Structure 1
Amino acid sequence: MPADALSLAVLLICGYLLGSLSSAIICCRLMGRTDPRTGGSGNPGATNVLRLAGRDAAVLTLAGDVAKGALAVAFARTLDAEPLVQALAGATAFLGHLYPVFFGFRGGKGVATALGALLVATPVAGLLTVATWGIAWALIRISAAAALTAFALAPVYVGVTTHQPPLVLVAAAVSVLLFWRHRANIRDLLGKR
């Protein structure tokens, strides 16, 4: 674990700044495509980039977003940080994705970044979350609903596989924020019933 509070703060700030690099916006700019915040759903995420800029841009966006969460956790691990600190590093990358300082705090919904962090911090729970997303997607074919289903169960998976309540609390906090960011989607889904 970082030796002191200052080291911990620096680690978490680095995680946030890494998360603040919006893969969708950067990718679309480099490829000369529409800023995803100004078209489609207005969300700078892979699904909207797919609509606006095509498959290649969407794949790069998805890979970049997953990598942000994964790298934040991996960097903390290289510093011999304890599992809770690693999870917090991933959570700050997730926060950076939601509220990126480099892009006017207008970020995405965080699914891919949260998943990247989860896969490195708690690999089995991460794989179970991916599997849940895949099953939900196969059954309902609605991206937001599949993501919400997966992350509703992610804290349970973390608890069952790690038996570490602090990690469950971090996973639960991320899931709550993820649901908050999807509130418009939830309203739309409820309205379709």
Structure 2
Amino acid sequence: MILTTLLLIAIGYLLGAIPSGYLAARWLKGIDLRDCGSGSTGATNVLRNVGKAPALVVFLVDVGKGALTVLLAKSAGLNDWVQVLAGLAALAGHIWPIWLGWKGGKAVATGLGMFLGLAWPVGLACFGLFIAVISIFRIVSLSSVVAAIGLPLLMLISGSGSAYVVVSLVAMLLVLWRHRSNIQRLIAGTEPRIGQKQSAN
């Protein structure tokens, strides 16, 4: 049990650390995303610096990383807490990938994948909240922050177990922390909307 848990945590980290956004930018534009825009290797920075189609692919891959990690833990018959640990390992891998000097993305897409794997109705509801906000305001970071704040509330409403509620709180804090510079720009009214270029932090 302990060895299986450790193995799944390691697999989760390595899956999360797959640098999909970085690779897309390198292969298609010959640029290092860490030196562009927000410096994040996530889908939003790919959208701004590489294009819509690559950003969509990166988004789907990043969602898949989080979902696959949790589904592997579930298929192994492990309990909720181990599933949560595996999912958090994927988030950690995405945020702090060993291959890129510990500088990765903001974990929104990978987090969505993790919650789709843990409790898909909550994951879909959270994604719906993201889509609603982005449709109105066209600001990705605002949509991510609102969805992150709504996540624990949605998990509580769904009646999920304590492990899922705890991880939703942890994920919310991680997303808010990773978006702290975006939040500052939102308050200042300088955060770019979709279609606008973002200056480096």
Band of TM-score, shorter chain: over 0.9
**Alignment-derived partner of residue 11 in structure 1:** 8
Shift of residue 88, structure 1, vs aligned partner: 2.0
2-side partners of 1:185 and 1:32: how far apart? 25
Higher relative contact order (CA 8 A, sep 6+): 2
Unmatched runs of 5 consecutive residues or more in structure 1:
none
2-side partners of 1:21 and 1:145: how far apart? 26
Shift of residue 145, structure 1, vs aligned partner: 0.5
Mean Cα displacement is larger for which, 149-158 or 32-41? 32-41
1:115 to 112, 115, 127: 112
Q: CA RMSD in A?
A: 1.4
**Alignment-derived partner of residue 124 in structure 1:** 121
**Alignment-derived partner of residue 33 in structure 1:** 30
2-side partners of 1:61 and 1:77: how far apart? 25
> Residue deviations 1:13-51, cap 9 Å, x none?
210111111110122223343121111222111111112
**Contact 2:118 2:164 (8 Å CA) reproduced:** no
The residue type equivalent to 1:138 in the other structure is S
**Alignment-derived partner of residue 96 in structure 2:** 99
Unmatched runs of 5 consecutive residues or more in structure 2:
191-201
**Alignment-derived partner of residue 49 in structure 1:** 46
**Contact 1:19 1:93 (8 Å CA) reproduced:** yes
**Contact 1:34 1:53 (8 Å CA) reproduced:** no
**Alignment-derived partner of residue 146 in structure 1:** 143
1:188 to 185, 188, 198: 185
**After superposition, where does 1:63-82 map in structure 2 within 5 Å?**
63-82=60-79
TM-score normalised by structure 1 residue count = 0.93
TM-score normalised by structure 2 residue count = 0.89
1:85 to 79, 82, 88: 82
**Alignment-derived partner of residue 160 in structure 1:** 157
